[in-house]
Amino acid sequence: MERISIDQARAHEGQQVEIQGWLYNLRKSGKIIFPVIRDGSGLMQCVAVKSNLPEPVFEALKNLTQESSLSVTGTVRAEARAPGGYELDVTDAHVVQRVPEERPYPITPKEHGVDFLMDHRHLWLRSRRQHAAIRVRHEVIKGIRDYFDSHGFILVDTPIFTPSACEGTSTLFEVDYFEDEKVYLTQSGQLYNEANAMAFGKVYCFGPTFRAEKSKTRRHLTEFWMVEPEMAYADLEEVKRVAEELVVYLVGRVLETRQEELKVLERDTAKLANVKSPFPRMSYDEAVKALAAKGSEIRWGGDFGNTDETLLTQDFDRPVIVDRYPAEIKAFYFQPDPERPELALGVDMIAPEGYGEIIGGGQRIHDLALLEKRLDEHKLPREAFEWYLDLRRFGSVPHGGFGMGVERFVAWMCGLEHVRETIPYPRMLYRTRP
Amino acid sequence: MERISIDQARAHEGQQVEIQGWLYNLRKSGKIIFPVIRDGSGLMQCVAVKSNLPEPVFEALKNLTQESSLSVTGTVRAEARAPGGYELDVTDAHVVQRVPEERPYPITPKEHGVDFLMDHRHLWLRSRRQHAAIRVRHEVIKGIRDYFDSHGFILVDTPIFTPSACEGTSTLFEVDYFEDEKVYLTQSGQLYNEANAMAFGKVYCFGPTFRAEKSKTRRHLTEFWMVEPEMAYADLEEVKRVAEELVVYLVGRVLETRQEELKVLERDTAKLANVKSPFPRMSYDEAVKALAAKGSEIRWGGDFGNTDETLLTQDFDRPVIVDRYPAEIKAFYFQPDPERPELALGVDMIAPEGYGEIIGGGQRIHDLALLEKRLDEHKLPREAFEWYLDLRRFGSVPHGGFGMGVERFVAWMCGLEHVRETIPYPRMLYRTRP
């Protein structure tokens, strides 16, 4: 007899199979009971009829506790009303471990506070909504990799241990290396990406990233995953084109493959279905004007707050691309606009529905003298950047790229208010366990 | 006119195209010069004839320095003797940035010491061998993900910041979190993987891993990437089956897609072509006997050294699977052999040709009382493991998995002596830059 996972039921209609999982739910109706089993791939409603089963098997099932582990044997039958479309007519069952009544599974259908659930994150992940969010995350990550791998990009992992900061040192986590040496956890692979793009043409890095920000907003984690592509011989327009193409691809893929999960999450998928090319584009100047007209207090030269980002996208059904920011509020490495050097050729993509900035990037400085000047202006230690300057000495070319945070993107896909549910074990200001 | 990458030349034979890259090599022969351009996707030999080009263009090309950036326009022509099989008959060229004679590209065809090359890692990556190794790495990583994604595994990222150690604390990197809190960089996602397997059935994590080992061997990095699958309802045999299937798949894939790179690396691919199922299998007992017969000083109860691993595989043309180790030399969480409880149901896979252990794993304890006993025996702080014990309270099932380090695997594929060339920016005892 074949052992199958629940998502394979369709291919085994009418056959005798074994499934192995955990008791998700149990409904009793006299001499018939309906245990719902979960096995990680799906849910299967089983039908156990007293008269068809040995007495001890029926009794064991009837008194089974939530999340007890068991294997069930039976015949797969199509049943349109069942979750997943199939039921199992039970012919035998074997309890692997019974959760004792004295210490029942701590997460019950009643409401629990978020702190309680986060303390039990190792179990909470079994819940349907959490399960769905992590499966959407899996699909987004696979989609990102498939996109870049099929568009000529080479994966070049950038280091986690870095000797210096990419953007300021106040939000760096410090690590004791050997013999009094200090290193810092990466905030971005970009500077390394630039070196890698000169070697491979088009590259991406994709790994965990760290920010020691003492913020407690719903958009911040101290440890999060970020993908960062970088392209040689690319300008701002090319960066925008790739960012838009990637986002359209990912949204389409999630809609195509994760309908079931989005339903569990009660996501309004009509809103995601609007996310098609072209995205609205505006300059920072235009954005400031639009915001002023909507009553924002932003002045030219200021950065957008969360409220501004939401205001800016509220008239649109898809992400908004904003470019050409004041150089003053951008990092040292941005190429200036040739026509208005006070502007940086940076670009952000702001998601609709209040999900905020999901992508930030732009074109980098390729001129050695200008980059040296910027390092001085930003009082950055020249010696630590000598290797980065080398990229402008030995075959410098216009180049650019962007970074996209996985958790914010997944939060948007899932319609989740807080990024903490988009990563298996979130790390925040007051959360490092389990 | 179309801009193409060099690897697209085949599809543009006879057409006028533009390629953008860097000067890799330049051969001169009177009134004809042969600049070889690299663009990250490949090498293209160009043919520039003085009489066919404007004087300044020909002169600029003729005097171009190594690694200067340039774009070249010309007609693609099949040429069996050229690298890649195509040449470009140059009709125009434009130098983007010329590397000045006064400060030439530091990596020349002459021999450089490893320290010098590692100090220039941001440039060394442009060299053919380094380029090839990183492309093999890309393929191995993609292969790993494709294997698990297509075999019902869900990617569940485990945290980098962990509150406690998985196996001993002496090799942990400590991080200052907020307000005097300390966290540690992960050494393995396994404990979290076990929780995730109970939620998703089959899972894997894949990310950077850290070991503060003061070793300077050719197999050690302080930061390396590891993939770790974990399966619910799986025993030692299933762990071995999946490990073998994965390795056979990966070797086949690298051979199929990275012939060009393996040639650059001068890898003897006949040796890799032998890596097919079934792999030789032996118990630890048998391995100790075999080693004794070969003159090793190992005694029963000891762990294999590098020399033992090499001895053990020298009669085989593929990896060797060794299982059932003395519980004493394995971590606390291994399920004991039911027939000989002094043995742990652990398994290692040892690569041939002296590449050593590439996979370690086994079946985990699923019984609550036994796990509690082991925590006591190993003097591990009970409180920190309460969440891990929960997995044995709420639907415990037999389960197992393994970890595979990417860098050792890539070193084996590439035939590289030292793992430091298998990762873009290696981190070692005395190496944290660039």
Q: Where are the domains of chain A?
A: 2-97, 122-422
* CA pair distance A171, A7, nearest whole angstrom: 44
Record: contact A173-B176, CB cut-off 8 A: yes
3-state secondary structure at position B239? helix
Q: Is the dihedral of CA B237, B243, B248, B253 positive or negative?
A: positive
Kindly give, in sequence order, each residue whose CB lies less than 8 Å from that of residue B175, ignoring residues fewer than 6 positions away.
Answer: A173, A174, A175, A185, B161, B182, B183, B184, B185
- Is-contact A400 A231, C-beta < 8 A? yes
CATH number of A122-422: 3.30.930.10
Q: Could you tell me the CA-to-CA distances from A384 to A165, A374, A380, B119, B249 in Å, in that order?
A: 9, 14, 8, 12, 42
Record: contact A40-B197, CB cut-off 8 A: yes
Share of chain B above pLDDT 90, in %: 93
CB proximity B385 to A under 8 Å: no
Closest CA to A390 of A374, A366, A363: A366
How would you classify the pairing of strands A202-210 and A223-232?
antiparallel
* CA pair distance B215, B170, nearest whole angstrom: 13
Pick the residue of B160, B171, B257, B383 with the most A CBs within 10 A to test the interface with A by mutation. Answer: B160
B200: closest chain A residue by CA: A40
Alpha helices in B258-333 (DSSP H): 259-264, 269-273, 284-293, 306-313
3-state secondary structure at position B231? strand
Residues of A in contact with B154 (CB under 8 A): 40, 134-135, 138
Record: contact B69-A395, CB cut-off 8 A: yes
Q: Indicate the residue of B141, B176, B195 with minimum beta-carbon distance to A122.
A: B195
* CA pair distance B432, B413, nearest whole angstrom: 25
Q: Helices B406-414 and B236-257: crossing angle, nearest 10°? A: 50
B120: closest chain A residue by CA: A387
A85: left (phi over 0), alpha (psi -120 to 50) or beta: left
Q: Indicate the residue of B173, B178, B395 with minimum beta-carbon distance to A97.
A: B395
Residue A129 has which token pair? 């909504």
Q: What pLDDT sits at residue A165?
A: 54
Q: What pLDDT sits at residue A257?
A: 98
Q: What pLDDT sits at residue B167?
A: 55
Instruction: Give the architecture (CATH level 2) of B2-97.
Output: Beta Barrel (2.40)
Residue B111 per-residue DSSP state: -
Pick the residue of B38, B137, B161 with the most A CBs within 10 A to test the interface with A by mutation. Answer: B161
* CA pair distance B194, B114, nearest whole angstrom: 41
* CA pair distance A248, A101, nearest whole angstrom: 49
- Is-contact A353 A412, C-beta < 8 A? yes
Radius of gyration of chain B (CA): 26
Q: What pLDDT sits at residue A255?
A: 98
* CA pair distance A185, A211, nearest whole angstrom: 8
* CA pair distance B48, B66, nearest whole angstrom: 17
Q: What pLDDT sits at residue B334?
A: 98
Q: What pLDDT sits at residue B56?
A: 97
B324: left (phi over 0), alpha (psi -120 to 50) or beta: left
How would you classify the pairing of strands B154-155 and B69-78?
unpaired
Q: What pLDDT sits at residue B219?
A: 86
Kindly give, in sequence order, each residue whose CB lies less than 8 Å from that of residue B321, ignoring residues fewer than 6 positions away.
Answer: B240, B243, B244, B279, B280, B281, B282, B347, B348, B349
Structure ipTM: 0.97
Quickly count: other Cβ atoms within 10 Å of residue B2's Cβ.
Answer: 10
Pick the residue of A161, A180, A390 with the most B CBs within 10 A to test the interface with B by mutation. Answer: A161
Record: contact B175-A192, CB cut-off 8 A: no
B67 CA to chain A: closest CA distance, Å? Answer: 5
pLDDT per residue of chain A (434 residues) written in tens, 0 to 9: 899 999 999 999 999 999 999 999 999 998 999 999 999 999 999 999 999 999 999 999 999 999 999 999 999 999 999 888 999 999 999 999 999 999 999 999 888 999 999 999 999 999 999 999 999 999 999 999 999 999 999 999 999 999 965 556 689 999 989 988 899 999 999 999 999 999 999 999 999 999 999 888 888 899 999 999 999 999 999 999 999 999 999 999 999 999 999 999 999 999 999 999 999 999 999 999 999 999 999 999 999 999 999 999 999 999 999 999 999 999 999 999 999 999 999 999 999 999 999 999 999 999 999 999 999 999 998 999 999 999 999 999 999 999 999 999 999 999 999 999 999 999 999 999 99
Q: Indicate the residue of A41, A96, A393 with minimum beta-carbon distance to B397.
A: A96
Q: What share of chain B is helix, strand, coil (3-state, %, to 5)?
A: 35, 30, 35
Closest CA to A43 of A78, A83, A75: A83
Residues of A in contact with B135 (CB under 8 A): 154
pTM over 0.90: yes
CB proximity A143 to B under 8 Å: no
CB proximity A429 to B under 8 Å: yes
A293 CA to chain B: closest CA distance, Å? Answer: 41
Q: Please determine, for residue B215, whether its predicted confidence score (pLDDT) is greater than 70.
A: yes
Reduce the secondary structure of chain A to three states and give it as a string. Answer: CEECCHHHHHHHCCCEEEEEEEEEEEEEECCEEEEEEECCCCEEEEEEEHHHCCHHHHHHHHCCCCCCEEEEEEEEEECCCCHHHEEEEEEEEEEEECCCCCCCCCCCCCCCCHHHHHHCHHHHCCCHHHHHHHHHHHHHHHHHHHHHHCCCCEECCCCCEECCCCCCCCCCCEEECCCCCEEEECCCCHHHHHHHHHHHCEEEEEEEEECCCCCCCCCCCCEEEEEEEEEECCCHHHHHHHHHHHHHHHHHHHHHHCHHHHHHCCCCHHHHHCCCCCCCEEEHHHHHHHHHHCCCCCCCCCCCCHHHHHHHHCCCCCCEEEEEEEHHHCCCCECECCCCCCEEEEEEEEECCCCEEEEEEEEECCCHHHHHHHHHHCCCCHHHHHHHHHHHHCCCCCEEEEEEEHHHHHHHHHCCCCHHHHCCCCCECCECCC
Pick the residue of A157, A183, A433 with the most B CBs within 10 A to test the interface with B by mutation. Answer: A157
Tens-place pLDDT, residues B322-345: 999 999 999 999 999 999 999 999
B292 CA to chain A: closest CA distance, Å? Answer: 38
* B350: Cα separation from own chain's centroid: 16
Residue B142 has which token pair? 């993609």
Q: Mean pLDDT, to the nearest integer, of B86-111?
A: 96
Residues of B in contact with A434 (CB under 8 A): 163, 195, 387
Record: contact B192-A394, CB cut-off 8 A: no
Q: What pLDDT sits at residue A164?
A: 66
For chains A and B, CB pairs below 8 A equal: 243
Tens-place pLDDT, residues B111-170: 899 999 999 999 999 999 999 999 999 999 999 999 999 999 999 999 999 996 555 668
Record: contact B126-A199, CB cut-off 8 A: yes
Residue A408 has which token pair? 């914010």
- Is-contact B421 B133, C-beta < 8 A? yes
Quickly count: other Cβ atoms within 10 Å of residue A211's Cβ.
Answer: 17
Q: Helices B284-293 and B306-313: crossing angle, nearest 10°? A: 90
Quickly count: other Cβ atoms within 10 Å of residue B432's Cβ.
Answer: 21
- Is-contact B401 B228, C-beta < 8 A? yes
Q: Which residues pair with B283 in a beta bridge?
A: B323
Record: contact B173-A176, CB cut-off 8 A: yes
Alpha helices in B150-235 (DSSP H): 190-200
Record: contact A393-B99, CB cut-off 8 A: yes
Residues of A in contact with B185 (CB under 8 A): 175
Residues of A in contact with B433 (CB under 8 A): 163, 387
CB proximity B67 to A under 8 Å: yes
3-state secondary structure at position B323? strand
- Which helix (H) or strand (E) segment holds residue B9: the answer is none
Closest CA to A319 of A240, A255, A416: A240
* CA pair distance A282, B22, nearest whole angstrom: 35
The residue behind tokens 């396994």 is B190
Residues of B in contact with A97 (CB under 8 A): 366, 392, 395-397
